[in-house]
Structure formats: C-alpha cells, structure tokens
C-alpha cells in the first residue's frame, strides 16, 4: 500500500498519485483539499487556509509581527522574498500581507497541492495575488535567481508526541520524514541580496554555517536568526 493516495480518481490523476486507500489520503472536505491520516489514533485532517482566525490575526498584526521585524519590512517598500520552505504557506501569506512579493517554493507534491488549493480558494485576496507557488527544490531555485530576502523555516526534529507538537507539524514529520534544513543556509546566502532570515524553535541550535547571525529576534517559542549576506 502506498503512503499517500487520493479518494477521488480525477484528483489522483491530476496529482499523479494512486487512487484508493493509504496511510494518508488527500480528499475534499467542505470544498477544501485536506490531508487525512487514516491510521487509528491519528489527529484530524489538515489543510492550508488563509481565511482562518490565526491568518487574520497575523495579517492584522502587520509590521508588529516578529517575522516582519526580522524580514525588515518598511512602509512603501515591496521586498522580493523567496520562502524556500513554503509548507502550508502561513508565513508566505503573512509576508504577502505585508506587501512582499513572495515566491513560495515547496518540494513535497502533497504539501504543494494543499497550498495550491488554499491559494485558489483565496484568489480574490490581494495578498494571495502576491504569492507565486513553485513545486521545486529550493536549492535549485537559489542557484538561478536572486531575491531581496530568503526566508527559511526548515523542520526541526521534535520527538514529543504530546499536544504541544502541533497537528500540522505531526503530519509534516510523519509524511516528510527526517529533514533538518542543514543544506539550505549556504545557498540562501548566495541568493539573497539583503538578508537571510531563519526561523527556529527558541532553544534550537543555529543552522550549520560559518556565517554568524547579525541579529536575533526572540519570541516566546520561536526566534529569527538574521544573516546579512
Ligand atoms: C516547517 S515546514 C514550513 C512551514 C511554513 N513556514 C508555514 O508557514 O506553513 C517546512 C517545509 O519545507 C519544505 N522543504 C524542506 N526542504 C525544502 C527544499 N529544499 N525545497 C523546498 N521545500 C523544502 C518541507 O517539505 C516542508 O513542507
């Protein structure tokens, strides 16, 4: 049995995934594409969503967000940002709401399908119009294009099974397996003209690099390490 399948044969054909049962199933629930872990005891399904309360609160927080400070957003400026680890697009959306022009790169076809669906559902939102999604490996993209800012939010291996590990993160860890982003900072420093911003859990070690962060913005649970290329 394959790891991910689609409940709907047309969707399976469109995404190049098998049709039928699997540990993870992609299916539409209330008009939104969801990923559901079908195994006993698994948390409920996840989707990407720019219309949630959390997304709205982040949009309202604007330049007060720690992320905005780390990126260095200034009024009247439209920075080009490469979100090299787009995931479910929450940070891409927060950056686009700050008037950044965002290239969101995601290498997992399943995660990219969830994100593409949310972009489609919210296509009337002017912030969403500032996001372009690429299904690609960001390391390739960073070799060929330059951006004002490269933003990295790689997964951090967290073995806690408790509710503290958010549902989305549990899915990502289960689905994508071990990855730590240790190969992203060096190419990011080559691709960014102004800064590279790395999101980390507040007590996690830095991403490996000879470069030192020029400054660090610390919150309660996360911090942003800012590198100047
Ligand atoms: C922790 S999640 C990012 C969450 C995201 N910041 C958000 O706001 O939803 C990390 C994501 O980066 C993706 N990723 C990791 N390495 C990548 C690479 N080299 N190129 C593109 N995507 C990558 C993973 O597939 C995963 O979906």
pTM of the model: 0.94
**Are 139 and 212 found together in one domain?**
yes
Give me the domain span that covers residue 80.
48-227
Best of 46, 82, 89, 106 to mutate for ligand 1, by most ligand atoms within 8 A of CB? 106
Best of 58, 87, 91 to mutate for ligand 1, by most ligand atoms within 8 A of CB? 87
Distance CA 55, CA 34 (A): 17
Q: Is the Cβ atom of 213 under 6 angstroms away from ligand 1? A: no
Q: What residue owns the CA closest to ligand 1's atom 5?
A: 87
**Are 28 and 62 found together in one domain?**
no
Q: 36-80 pLDDT, tens per residue?
A: 999 998 999 999 999 999 888 888 888 889 999 999 999 989 999
Distance CA 170, CA 95 (A): 24
Q: Is the Cβ atom of 168 under 6 angstroms away from ligand 1? A: no
pLDDT of residue 46: 96
Q: How far apart are the first and last CA of the chain?
A: 46
Best of 48, 107, 187 to mutate for ligand 1, by most ligand atoms within 8 A of CB? 107
| pLDDT-flagged residues of the chain (< 70) | 1-2, 158-165
**Are 2 and 57 found together in one domain?**
no
Q: What residue owns the CA closest to ligand 1's atom 27?
A: 87
**Are 2 and 26 found together in one domain?**
yes
**Are 57 and 32 found together in one domain?**
no
pLDDT of residue 158: 66
**Are 132 and 173 found together in one domain?**
yes
**Are 133 and 27 found together in one domain?**
no
**Are 216 and 149 found together in one domain?**
yes
Domain count, the chain: 2
Side-by-side strand order, sheet with 80-83: 131-135, 101-106, 80-83, 147-152, 192-201, 222-227, 215-218
Distance CA 197, CA 83 (A): 10
């Amino acid at each position: 049995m394959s790891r991910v399948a689609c409940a709907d044969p047309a969707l399976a054909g469109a995404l190049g995934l098998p049709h039928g049962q699997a540990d993870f199933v992609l299916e539409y629930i209330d008009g939104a594409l969801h990923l559901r872990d079908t195994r006993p005891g698994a948390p409920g399904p996840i989707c990407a969503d720019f219309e949630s309360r959390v997304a709205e609160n982040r949009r309202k927080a604007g330049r007060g967000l720690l992320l905005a400070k780390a990126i260095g957003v200034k009024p009247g400026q439209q920075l080009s940002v490469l979100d090299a680890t787009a995931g479910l697009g929450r940070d891409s959306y927060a950056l686009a709401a700050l008037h950044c022009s965002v290239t969101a790169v995601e290498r997992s076809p399943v995660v990219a399908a969830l994100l593409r669906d949310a972009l489609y559902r919210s296509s009337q939102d002017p912030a969403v119009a500032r996001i372009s999604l690429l299904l690609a490996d960001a390391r390739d993209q960073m070799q060929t294009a330059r951006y004002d800012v490269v933003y990295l939010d790689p997964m951090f291996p967290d073995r806690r099974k408790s509710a503290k590990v958010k549902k989305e993160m549990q899915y990502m860890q289960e689905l994508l397996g071990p990855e730590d982003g240790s190969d992203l900072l060096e190419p990011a420093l080559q691709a960014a003209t102004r800064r590279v911003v790395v999101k980390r859990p507040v007590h996690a070690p830095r991403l490996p690099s000879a470069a030192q962060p020029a400054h660090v913005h610390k919150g309660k649970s996360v911090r942003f390490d800012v590198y100047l290329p």
